[in-house]
Every structure is written in C-alpha cells, then in structure tokens.
C-alpha cells in the first residue's frame, strides 16, 4: 500500500464515534455507557469501554478521568469531542472580506454552522496524512469533510477501505475493476480486483478544512 494510506477507525469505531457526536449535538451531554451498549447491542460494559479507549487513543474523543453521575442514575466518564457541543459547531460570521479589490465593510451578526455549510447531516472528518491529493489542493495535515455513503460516481474523491486500510483517492469503477487514483503525478493509482481484495466506499469528499 502507498505510504500515505491512513489507518484510523474501524467501521464499528466510526459508527460509535458518530453516535456519540450526534448524541452530544442533540442532547447537550454525552451518552452513558449503557446508551452506547443499547444502541449497538453490546451486552458487556467492558465491550463499550474497549471502543471508547480506542477512540481516545486515536484522538477522536476525550474522556474525563473522574467518574460522573449522569441525570439518569448511570455512572460514566464524561466524553467530549473537540469542537462539538449541543447544536453542532459554529463560528461567528461577521461579514465578507475581499481577496481582490477592497470592498466596503458591512457589519454582520450571524453564525456559520459547519453542518449547514456542507449541506448534509451525515458528515464526519478525517485528518490527511501524505501528499497523494496535493494537486487537488489537499495537503498533509488538512482535515477533509466526508459525507457518509456507500456508492460514488466515477471521478469523485472518496474515502475507500481496502481490506483494513483507508485511503483518500479519486474513484473509478470500470470493467469490474476499481481504480483509486491519486492527484499527484509522482504516484501510481491503486488497482483493486474486488474478487481478490475487500474494497468499499466509506464516503465522498464534500469539503476541506485547513489551519493556517
């Protein structure tokens, strides 16, 4: 596999992470251990804790070291996700700024809701490792916003799972063969025969977030 292939969350870990994020956004507080167990039919609390420890180790969630009693009587470690709170994540939108000829400053009092910006609810983010998409202005360290879906059109940029590894590439499915094409002229495409390897689409790229 290319050196920029991202090994990150398993499909189950991704589902649990999305459940926690949506729960926090909708309720303003994190789910209890039993809420997660009930949602995913995990009988043992230890089974839930294994997933939470993996999410924490990979940097997707933070967990308070002090046990807290929630308002339903259960005890669970407080779970937080950076940038996520009740109602999602938004920033003050103060107006427009010129990138060419200067424009008159117009005061604005609004907020930019990231979920609305990308036009979908079923979103998640991944941090890019490597330079295979550099010619599409996606650099090492950028965050890509992905819309979760299992199908893609030829030419779309997708997150694909090949066996147990994920990668961000342009997707092509022709003549029963999957081609995952980098946007970097120095790199070769990944050719996958579905009869020999397990390959699936985990989502389609809808945005890029970069910290300057």
Domains (range + CATH), the chain = 11-80 (1.10.10.10), 123-209 (2.10.109.10)
- In this prediction the pTM is 0.57
Residue 14, pLDDT > 50, answer yes
Residue 180 — φ and ψ, nearest 5°?
-110, 110
Q: Which residues 6+ apart lie within 8 Å of 22 measured at CB?
A: none
- Catalytic entry in 58, 132, 170, 174: 132
Tokens of 135: 């010619």
Please state, rounded to an integer, the average pLDDT across all residues of the chain. Answer: 81
Please spell the DSSP secondary structure of 138-169, one letter per residue: --TT-EEEEE--S---TT-EEEEEETTEEEEE
Tokens of 128: 């890019």
Residue 107, pLDDT > 80, answer no
- Catalytic entry in 90, 169, 170, 200: 169
Are the CB atoms for 153 and 26 separated by under 8 Å?
no
Confidence at residue 55, expressed as pLDDT on a 0 to 100 scale:
92
Considering Cα of 107, then 111, then 114, then 118, what sign does the dihedral take?
Answer: negative
Q: Residue 167 and residue 4: Cα distance in Å, rounded?
A: 8
Residue 161 — φ and ψ, nearest 5°?
-105, 120
Q: Give the model confidence (pLDDT) of 170-205 as tens digits.
A: 999 988 899 999 999 999 999 998 888 888 999 999
Confidence at residue 68, expressed as pLDDT on a 0 to 100 scale:
47
Q: Give the model confidence (pLDDT) of 118-157 as tens digits.
A: 776 678 888 899 999 999 999 999 989 888 899 999 999 9
Are the CB atoms for 178 and 199 separated by under 8 Å?
yes
In the annotation, is 132 catalytic? yes
DSSP-derived 3-state class of residue 23: helix
Residue with tokens 């609390």: 45
């Amino acid at each position: 596999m290319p050196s920029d292939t991202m090994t990150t969350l398993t499909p189950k870990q991704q589902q649990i992470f999305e459940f926690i994020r949506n729960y926090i956004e909708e309720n303003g507080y994190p789910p209890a251990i039993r809420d997660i167990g009930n949602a995913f039919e995990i009988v043992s609390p230890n089974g839930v804790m294994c997933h939470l420890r993996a999410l924490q180790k990979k940097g997707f969630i933070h967990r308070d070291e002090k046990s807290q009693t929630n308002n339903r009587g259960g005890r669970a470690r407080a779970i937080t996700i950076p940038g996520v709170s009740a109602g999602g994540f938004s920033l003050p939108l103060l107006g427009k700024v010129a990138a060419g000829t200067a424009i008159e400053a117009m005061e604005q009092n609004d907020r930019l809701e990231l979920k609305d910006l990308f036009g979908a609810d079923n979103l998640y983010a991944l941090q890019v490792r490597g330079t295979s998409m550099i010619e599409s202005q996606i650099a090492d360290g950028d965050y890509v916003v992905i819309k979760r879906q299992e199908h893609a059109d030829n030419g779309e940029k997708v997150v694909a799972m090949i066996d147990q590894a994920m990668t961000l590439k342009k997707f092509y499915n022709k003549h029963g063969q999957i081609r995952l094409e980098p946007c970097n002229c120095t790199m070769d495409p990944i050719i996958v025969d579905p009869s020999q390897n397990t390959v699936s689409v985990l989502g389609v790229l809808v945005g890029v977030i970069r910290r300057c």
